[in-house]
Structure 1
Amino acid sequence: MPIRTLFVTRFYEDRLDDPDLIEELRESCLALAKEDRAGRAWSKAHGYRGYTSYASLNDLPMRDPAFDDLKRALDKHVRRFAEASYMDLAKKPKLDSLWVNVLKGDGGHTGHIHPHSIISGTIYIAVPPGAGALKLEDPRLTALMAAPGRTADAPEDTQPFVYAEPSVGSVFLWESWLRHEVVAGAAKAERISISFNYA
Protein backbone atom coordinates (compact mmCIF):
# COMPACT_ATOMS: atom_id res chain seq x y z
CA MET A 1 0.00 0.00 0.00
CA PRO A 2 1.57 3.34 -1.05
CA ILE A 3 2.11 6.01 1.61
CA ARG A 4 2.59 9.62 0.58
CA THR A 5 4.64 12.22 2.46
CA LEU A 6 2.57 15.41 2.81
CA PHE A 7 3.15 18.97 4.02
CA VAL A 8 6.88 19.09 3.49
CA THR A 9 9.00 21.59 5.46
CA ARG A 10 12.03 22.56 3.42
CA PHE A 11 15.40 23.38 4.98
CA TYR A 12 18.23 24.72 2.80
CA GLU A 13 21.90 23.95 3.49
CA ASP A 14 24.75 25.31 1.39
CA ARG A 15 28.10 27.05 1.88
CA LEU A 16 29.77 30.39 1.38
CA ASP A 17 33.09 29.26 -0.08
CA ASP A 18 34.93 32.56 0.27
CA PRO A 19 37.52 32.33 3.09
CA ASP A 20 38.63 35.95 2.62
CA LEU A 21 35.07 37.28 3.01
CA ILE A 22 34.46 35.02 6.02
CA GLU A 23 37.61 36.39 7.67
CA GLU A 24 36.55 39.98 6.92
CA LEU A 25 33.14 39.26 8.42
CA ARG A 26 34.72 37.67 11.50
CA GLU A 27 36.82 40.78 12.10
CA SER A 28 33.81 43.05 11.54
CA CYS A 29 31.61 41.03 13.91
CA LEU A 30 34.22 41.15 16.67
CA ALA A 31 34.73 44.90 16.14
CA LEU A 32 30.98 45.51 16.42
CA ALA A 33 30.86 43.44 19.62
CA LYS A 34 33.41 45.84 21.13
CA GLU A 35 32.14 49.13 19.71
CA ASP A 36 28.32 48.78 19.75
CA ARG A 37 27.44 49.95 23.27
CA ALA A 38 23.69 49.87 22.59
CA GLY A 39 23.90 46.28 21.37
CA ARG A 40 25.94 45.21 24.38
CA ALA A 41 23.47 46.92 26.73
CA TRP A 42 20.48 45.24 25.02
CA SER A 43 22.20 41.85 25.17
CA LYS A 44 22.89 42.24 28.89
CA ALA A 45 19.36 43.47 29.64
CA HIS A 46 17.81 40.52 27.79
CA GLY A 47 20.10 37.79 29.14
CA TYR A 48 21.83 37.13 25.82
CA ARG A 49 25.06 35.21 26.51
CA GLY A 50 27.37 37.41 24.46
CA TYR A 51 26.59 40.15 21.95
CA THR A 52 23.98 40.68 19.26
CA SER A 53 23.31 43.71 17.07
CA TYR A 54 19.68 42.55 16.67
CA ALA A 55 18.17 45.58 18.43
CA SER A 56 20.86 48.19 17.83
CA LEU A 57 22.06 48.29 14.19
CA ASN A 58 19.92 47.95 11.07
CA ASP A 59 22.26 49.21 8.35
CA LEU A 60 25.19 46.76 8.32
CA PRO A 61 25.32 46.35 4.48
CA MET A 62 25.58 50.15 4.13
CA ARG A 63 27.99 50.48 7.05
CA ASP A 64 30.56 47.85 6.03
CA PRO A 65 31.50 46.58 2.52
CA ALA A 66 31.94 43.02 3.84
CA PHE A 67 28.26 42.91 4.83
CA ASP A 68 27.30 44.31 1.43
CA ASP A 69 29.27 41.50 -0.24
CA LEU A 70 27.52 39.03 2.05
CA LYS A 71 24.11 40.47 1.12
CA ARG A 72 24.80 39.89 -2.58
CA ALA A 73 25.84 36.29 -1.90
CA LEU A 74 22.79 35.66 0.30
CA ASP A 75 20.45 37.10 -2.35
CA LYS A 76 21.45 34.22 -4.66
CA HIS A 77 20.93 31.56 -1.99
CA VAL A 78 17.53 32.97 -1.04
CA ARG A 79 16.39 33.05 -4.69
CA ARG A 80 17.39 29.39 -5.11
CA PHE A 81 15.56 28.41 -1.92
CA ALA A 82 12.39 30.29 -2.94
CA GLU A 83 12.40 28.54 -6.32
CA ALA A 84 13.04 25.11 -4.77
CA SER A 85 10.15 25.76 -2.36
CA TYR A 86 7.78 26.65 -5.23
CA MET A 87 6.99 30.02 -3.67
CA ASP A 88 4.53 31.99 -5.79
CA LEU A 89 5.93 35.47 -5.23
CA ALA A 90 4.96 38.71 -6.96
CA LYS A 91 8.53 39.99 -6.47
CA LYS A 92 11.89 38.62 -5.41
CA PRO A 93 12.39 38.50 -1.64
CA LYS A 94 14.58 41.37 -0.41
CA LEU A 95 16.81 41.59 2.63
CA ASP A 96 14.76 43.11 5.44
CA SER A 97 17.16 42.78 8.39
CA LEU A 98 20.58 41.36 9.16
CA TRP A 99 22.32 41.13 12.53
CA VAL A 100 25.47 39.79 14.17
CA ASN A 101 25.57 37.19 16.95
CA VAL A 102 28.71 36.62 19.02
CA LEU A 103 27.59 33.93 21.44
CA LYS A 104 29.67 32.72 24.38
CA GLY A 105 30.73 29.07 24.20
CA ASP A 106 28.05 27.92 26.66
CA GLY A 107 25.35 30.19 25.24
CA GLY A 108 22.10 29.27 23.53
CA HIS A 109 18.97 30.97 22.25
CA THR A 110 15.47 29.80 23.15
CA GLY A 111 12.85 28.71 20.62
CA HIS A 112 11.38 31.43 18.41
CA ILE A 113 10.08 32.33 14.95
CA HIS A 114 10.76 35.40 12.75
CA PRO A 115 7.48 37.28 12.19
CA HIS A 116 6.86 39.68 9.27
CA SER A 117 9.28 37.92 6.90
CA ILE A 118 9.19 35.09 4.37
CA ILE A 119 12.62 33.46 4.57
CA SER A 120 15.06 33.54 7.47
CA GLY A 121 18.50 32.14 7.87
CA THR A 122 21.95 32.16 9.37
CA ILE A 123 25.49 32.05 8.04
CA TYR A 124 28.19 30.74 10.37
CA ILE A 125 31.45 32.65 10.69
CA ALA A 126 33.13 30.86 13.63
CA VAL A 127 32.02 27.46 14.94
CA PRO A 128 34.32 26.16 17.68
CA PRO A 129 34.18 22.51 18.81
CA GLY A 130 31.25 22.05 21.18
CA ALA A 131 29.21 24.95 19.76
CA GLY A 132 25.46 24.43 19.90
CA ALA A 133 23.51 23.09 16.93
CA LEU A 134 20.44 24.68 15.35
CA LYS A 135 17.37 22.80 16.62
CA LEU A 136 14.34 22.82 14.30
CA GLU A 137 10.86 21.95 15.57
CA ASP A 138 8.09 20.15 13.69
CA PRO A 139 5.50 22.92 13.14
CA ARG A 140 2.68 20.46 13.87
CA LEU A 141 4.02 19.66 17.34
CA THR A 142 1.29 21.46 19.28
CA ALA A 143 -1.41 19.57 17.34
CA LEU A 144 0.02 16.07 17.81
CA MET A 145 -1.78 15.56 21.16
CA ALA A 146 -1.57 11.83 21.97
CA ALA A 147 0.77 10.93 19.09
CA PRO A 148 3.37 8.31 20.11
CA GLY A 149 7.10 8.99 19.90
CA ARG A 150 9.16 7.72 16.99
CA THR A 151 11.42 4.68 16.94
CA ALA A 152 15.19 5.11 17.08
CA ASP A 153 15.54 4.19 13.38
CA ALA A 154 12.78 6.58 12.17
CA PRO A 155 13.85 8.76 9.23
CA GLU A 156 14.59 12.44 9.78
CA ASP A 157 11.36 13.63 8.16
CA THR A 158 9.29 11.86 10.84
CA GLN A 159 11.15 13.27 13.87
CA PRO A 160 9.64 16.03 16.06
CA PHE A 161 13.04 17.78 16.27
CA VAL A 162 15.94 17.93 13.81
CA TYR A 163 19.42 19.21 14.70
CA ALA A 164 21.46 20.98 12.00
CA GLU A 165 25.18 21.05 12.81
CA PRO A 166 26.88 24.08 11.21
CA SER A 167 30.49 24.56 10.20
CA VAL A 168 32.35 27.70 9.14
CA GLY A 169 30.69 29.02 5.98
CA SER A 170 27.43 27.07 6.40
CA VAL A 171 24.35 28.88 5.06
CA PHE A 172 21.05 27.65 6.53
CA LEU A 173 17.68 28.92 5.24
CA TRP A 174 14.11 28.12 6.26
CA GLU A 175 10.65 29.64 6.04
CA SER A 176 10.31 32.27 8.77
CA TRP A 177 7.37 30.55 10.51
CA LEU A 178 9.52 27.52 11.39
CA ARG A 179 10.27 27.47 15.12
CA HIS A 180 13.94 27.00 15.92
CA GLU A 181 16.49 27.53 18.67
CA VAL A 182 20.23 27.44 19.33
CA VAL A 183 21.09 24.62 21.71
CA ALA A 184 23.33 25.69 24.59
CA GLY A 185 26.90 24.79 23.77
CA ALA A 186 29.95 23.54 25.59
CA ALA A 187 32.58 25.35 23.52
CA LYS A 188 35.63 27.16 24.88
CA ALA A 189 35.47 29.92 22.27
CA GLU A 190 32.78 32.20 20.84
CA ARG A 191 30.36 31.08 18.16
CA ILE A 192 29.94 33.84 15.56
CA SER A 193 27.01 33.92 13.18
CA ILE A 194 25.04 36.41 11.12
CA SER A 195 21.27 35.99 10.98
CA PHE A 196 18.88 37.62 8.53
CA ASN A 197 15.31 37.94 7.28
CA TYR A 198 13.98 38.36 3.75
CA ALA A 199 10.52 39.79 3.09
Structure 2
Amino acid sequence: MSTITTLFPTFLYRAEVPRAGQMNRDLEAVSMSLAMDDRAGLRWAEKHGYPGYTSYASLNDLAWRFPEFSRLVKVIDRHALAFARALHWDLRGTKPMCDSLWVNVMPEGGSHTSHIHPNSVISGTYYVAVPDGAGPIVYEDPRLAMMMAAPPRKDNAPREFKAHVSEYPKPGSLLLWESWLRHEVPLNRAEGNRISVSFNYCLGSE
Protein backbone atom coordinates (compact mmCIF):
# COMPACT_ATOMS: atom_id res chain seq x y z
CA MET A 1 0.00 0.00 0.00
CA SER A 2 1.27 3.51 -0.84
CA THR A 3 0.09 7.02 -0.18
CA ILE A 4 0.89 10.46 -1.58
CA THR A 5 0.68 13.40 0.80
CA THR A 6 0.57 17.10 -0.06
CA LEU A 7 3.37 19.05 1.62
CA PHE A 8 4.35 22.73 1.67
CA PRO A 9 1.38 24.17 -0.25
CA THR A 10 1.38 27.66 -1.74
CA PHE A 11 -1.80 29.61 -1.10
CA LEU A 12 -3.55 32.26 -3.17
CA TYR A 13 -6.43 34.12 -1.51
CA ARG A 14 -9.12 35.55 -3.76
CA ALA A 15 -12.23 37.51 -2.84
CA GLU A 16 -14.80 39.36 -4.91
CA VAL A 17 -15.66 42.54 -3.03
CA PRO A 18 -19.46 42.94 -3.02
CA ARG A 19 -21.16 46.10 -4.24
CA ALA A 20 -17.82 47.49 -5.42
CA GLY A 21 -19.18 49.50 -8.35
CA GLN A 22 -19.23 52.93 -6.73
CA MET A 23 -15.95 52.36 -4.90
CA ASN A 24 -14.32 51.38 -8.19
CA ARG A 25 -15.68 54.43 -9.97
CA ASP A 26 -14.30 56.66 -7.22
CA LEU A 27 -10.93 54.90 -7.26
CA GLU A 28 -10.73 55.10 -11.04
CA ALA A 29 -11.39 58.84 -11.01
CA VAL A 30 -8.64 59.48 -8.46
CA SER A 31 -6.25 57.09 -10.21
CA MET A 32 -6.66 58.77 -13.59
CA SER A 33 -6.23 62.19 -11.98
CA LEU A 34 -2.97 61.00 -10.41
CA ALA A 35 -1.86 59.56 -13.75
CA MET A 36 -2.13 63.05 -15.20
CA ASP A 37 -0.85 65.17 -12.30
CA ASP A 38 1.75 63.10 -10.43
CA ARG A 39 4.80 64.31 -12.30
CA ALA A 40 7.24 62.53 -10.01
CA GLY A 41 5.48 59.24 -10.65
CA LEU A 42 5.39 59.84 -14.39
CA ARG A 43 9.11 60.67 -14.43
CA TRP A 44 9.91 57.50 -12.49
CA ALA A 45 7.82 55.39 -14.87
CA GLU A 46 9.54 56.89 -17.90
CA LYS A 47 13.01 56.50 -16.40
CA HIS A 48 12.47 52.86 -15.54
CA GLY A 49 10.63 51.89 -18.71
CA TYR A 50 7.34 51.31 -16.89
CA PRO A 51 4.48 51.66 -19.37
CA GLY A 52 1.64 53.83 -18.21
CA TYR A 53 1.68 55.20 -14.66
CA THR A 54 2.41 53.98 -11.16
CA SER A 55 2.59 55.88 -7.88
CA TYR A 56 4.95 53.21 -6.50
CA ALA A 57 7.94 55.54 -6.14
CA SER A 58 6.20 58.89 -5.67
CA LEU A 59 3.24 58.74 -3.28
CA ASN A 60 3.31 56.41 -0.28
CA ASP A 61 0.46 57.94 1.71
CA LEU A 62 -2.53 57.52 -0.60
CA ALA A 63 -4.79 56.31 2.22
CA TRP A 64 -4.02 59.51 4.14
CA ARG A 65 -4.44 61.80 1.12
CA PHE A 66 -7.62 60.31 -0.34
CA PRO A 67 -10.67 58.88 1.47
CA GLU A 68 -11.25 56.58 -1.53
CA PHE A 69 -8.04 54.71 -0.72
CA SER A 70 -8.68 54.82 3.02
CA ARG A 71 -11.97 52.99 2.46
CA LEU A 72 -10.21 50.41 0.31
CA VAL A 73 -7.56 49.75 2.96
CA LYS A 74 -10.29 49.02 5.52
CA VAL A 75 -11.71 46.40 3.15
CA ILE A 76 -8.30 44.83 2.53
CA ASP A 77 -7.46 44.82 6.26
CA ARG A 78 -10.26 42.34 6.97
CA HIS A 79 -9.17 40.00 4.22
CA ALA A 80 -5.48 40.21 5.12
CA LEU A 81 -6.30 39.14 8.67
CA ALA A 82 -8.48 36.29 7.40
CA PHE A 83 -5.64 35.15 5.12
CA ALA A 84 -3.09 35.28 7.96
CA ARG A 85 -5.38 33.09 10.07
CA ALA A 86 -5.88 30.67 7.18
CA LEU A 87 -2.09 30.36 6.97
CA HIS A 88 -2.04 29.37 10.67
CA TRP A 89 0.43 32.11 11.54
CA ASP A 90 1.20 32.56 15.23
CA LEU A 91 0.61 36.30 15.26
CA ARG A 92 1.59 36.71 18.94
CA GLY A 93 -0.30 39.94 19.52
CA THR A 94 0.37 41.35 16.06
CA LYS A 95 -1.81 41.71 13.00
CA PRO A 96 -1.22 42.42 9.30
CA MET A 97 -0.94 46.18 8.71
CA CYS A 98 -0.79 47.99 5.39
CA ASP A 99 2.78 49.16 4.93
CA SER A 100 2.57 50.55 1.38
CA LEU A 101 -0.05 50.95 -1.31
CA TRP A 102 0.23 52.24 -4.87
CA VAL A 103 -1.81 52.70 -8.05
CA ASN A 104 -1.01 51.10 -11.41
CA VAL A 105 -2.55 52.40 -14.64
CA MET A 106 -1.46 50.02 -17.39
CA PRO A 107 -2.46 50.94 -20.97
CA GLU A 108 -2.64 48.62 -23.95
CA GLY A 109 0.85 47.22 -24.57
CA GLY A 110 1.93 47.49 -20.94
CA SER A 111 3.38 44.67 -18.83
CA HIS A 112 5.15 44.11 -15.52
CA THR A 113 8.08 41.71 -15.38
CA SER A 114 8.52 38.92 -12.85
CA HIS A 115 9.22 40.09 -9.28
CA ILE A 116 8.64 39.54 -5.57
CA HIS A 117 7.85 42.00 -2.75
CA PRO A 118 10.70 42.09 -0.19
CA ASN A 119 10.33 43.29 3.41
CA SER A 120 6.66 42.35 3.72
CA VAL A 121 4.64 39.26 4.62
CA ILE A 122 1.44 39.60 2.55
CA SER A 123 1.18 41.32 -0.81
CA GLY A 124 -1.70 41.68 -3.18
CA THR A 125 -3.67 43.60 -5.74
CA TYR A 126 -7.18 45.01 -5.91
CA TYR A 127 -8.61 45.45 -9.40
CA VAL A 128 -10.44 48.68 -10.18
CA ALA A 129 -10.84 48.36 -13.97
CA VAL A 130 -10.15 45.32 -16.15
CA PRO A 131 -10.98 45.86 -19.83
CA ASP A 132 -12.27 42.92 -21.86
CA GLY A 133 -9.35 40.80 -23.03
CA ALA A 134 -6.88 42.08 -20.43
CA GLY A 135 -4.28 39.51 -19.47
CA PRO A 136 -3.99 37.63 -16.18
CA ILE A 137 -1.56 37.87 -13.33
CA VAL A 138 0.79 34.88 -13.49
CA TYR A 139 2.31 33.16 -10.44
CA GLU A 140 5.49 31.07 -10.57
CA ASP A 141 6.11 27.88 -8.62
CA PRO A 142 8.60 28.97 -5.91
CA ARG A 143 10.46 25.67 -6.31
CA LEU A 144 11.11 26.20 -10.01
CA ALA A 145 14.81 27.05 -9.65
CA MET A 146 15.41 23.83 -7.69
CA MET A 147 13.74 21.40 -10.10
CA MET A 148 16.95 20.91 -12.10
CA ALA A 149 16.43 17.81 -14.27
CA ALA A 150 12.70 17.42 -13.57
CA PRO A 151 10.77 16.82 -16.82
CA PRO A 152 8.13 19.35 -17.88
CA ARG A 153 4.52 18.83 -16.83
CA LYS A 154 1.93 17.64 -19.29
CA ASP A 155 -0.21 20.37 -20.85
CA ASN A 156 -3.31 18.86 -19.26
CA ALA A 157 -1.76 18.57 -15.77
CA PRO A 158 -4.02 19.87 -12.98
CA ARG A 159 -3.56 23.52 -12.11
CA GLU A 160 -1.73 22.82 -8.86
CA PHE A 161 0.99 20.92 -10.77
CA LYS A 162 1.83 23.67 -13.25
CA ALA A 163 5.02 25.73 -13.01
CA HIS A 164 3.11 28.92 -13.90
CA VAL A 165 -0.51 29.59 -12.97
CA SER A 166 -2.64 32.36 -14.47
CA GLU A 167 -5.34 34.08 -12.46
CA TYR A 168 -7.86 36.22 -14.34
CA PRO A 169 -9.26 39.04 -12.20
CA LYS A 170 -12.28 41.22 -12.82
CA PRO A 171 -13.28 44.59 -11.36
CA GLY A 172 -13.73 44.13 -7.63
CA SER A 173 -11.36 41.14 -7.40
CA LEU A 174 -8.94 41.10 -4.48
CA LEU A 175 -5.91 38.78 -4.61
CA LEU A 176 -3.57 38.13 -1.68
CA TRP A 177 -0.43 35.98 -1.52
CA GLU A 178 2.65 35.60 0.63
CA SER A 179 5.17 38.21 -0.45
CA TRP A 180 7.87 35.72 -1.50
CA LEU A 181 5.69 34.36 -4.31
CA ARG A 182 7.09 35.48 -7.67
CA HIS A 183 4.57 36.87 -10.13
CA GLU A 184 4.27 38.93 -13.31
CA VAL A 185 1.72 40.70 -15.47
CA PRO A 186 1.97 39.75 -19.16
CA LEU A 187 1.38 42.17 -22.01
CA ASN A 188 -1.96 43.95 -21.81
CA ARG A 189 -3.49 43.37 -25.25
CA ALA A 190 -6.84 44.91 -24.39
CA GLU A 191 -7.96 48.36 -25.38
CA GLY A 192 -8.26 50.65 -22.42
CA ASN A 193 -6.50 50.99 -19.08
CA ARG A 194 -6.08 48.14 -16.64
CA ILE A 195 -6.25 49.92 -13.28
CA SER A 196 -5.18 48.18 -10.09
CA VAL A 197 -4.06 49.01 -6.57
CA SER A 198 -1.14 46.96 -5.25
CA PHE A 199 -0.04 46.83 -1.63
CA ASN A 200 2.21 45.25 0.99
CA TYR A 201 1.39 44.22 4.55
CA CYS A 202 3.81 43.76 7.41
CA LEU A 203 3.06 42.60 10.97
CA GLY A 204 2.42 45.32 13.53
CA SER A 205 1.15 45.61 17.09
CA GLU A 206 -2.55 45.40 17.80
TM-score, normalization: structure 1?
0.98
Q: For 1:100-135, what per-residue CA distance to the aligned partner results, in whole angstroms no more than 9, with x for missing partners? A: 000012211000000000000000001012212101
- The equivalent of 1:188 in structure 2 is 191
Tell me how far apart the structure 2 counterparts of residues 105 and 187 of structure 1 sit (CA, whole Å).
6
Give how far 1:43 is off: 0.4
Give how far 1:150 is off: 0.9
Give unpaired runs (5+ residues) of structure 1: none
Tell me how far apart the structure 1 counterparts of residues 6 and 16 of structure 2 sit (CA, whole Å).
28
Within 5 A, what are the aligned runs for 1:29-178?
29-90=31-92, 91-178=94-181
Kept in 2: contact 1:58–1:99 (CA 8 A): yes
Give how far 1:165 is off: 0.5
Q: Secondary structure at the match of 2:50?
A: coil
Q: For 1:22-72, what per-residue CA distance to the aligned partner results, in whole angstroms no more than 9, with x for missing partners? A: 111111111111110000000000101100000000110010001000010
Tell me how far apart the structure 2 counterparts of residues 144 and 60 of structure 1 sit (CA, whole Å).
41
Residue identity matched to 2:13 = Y
User: What is the root-mean-square deviation of aligned Cα atoms in Å?
Assistant: 0.8
Give unpaired runs (5+ residues) of structure 2: none
Kept in 2: contact 1:106–1:131 (CA 8 A): no
Tell me how far apart the structure 1 counterparts of residues 90 and 164 of structure 2 sit (CA, whole Å).
28
Tell me how far apart the structure 1 counterparts of residues 34 and 131 of structure 2 sit (CA, whole Å).
20
Residue identity matched to 2:44 = W
Q: Secondary structure at the match of 1:93?
A: strand
Q: How many residues align?
A: 199
Give how far 1:153 is off: 2.3
- The equivalent of 2:16 in structure 1 is 15
Identity %: 51
Large movers: runs of 4+ above 3 Å: none
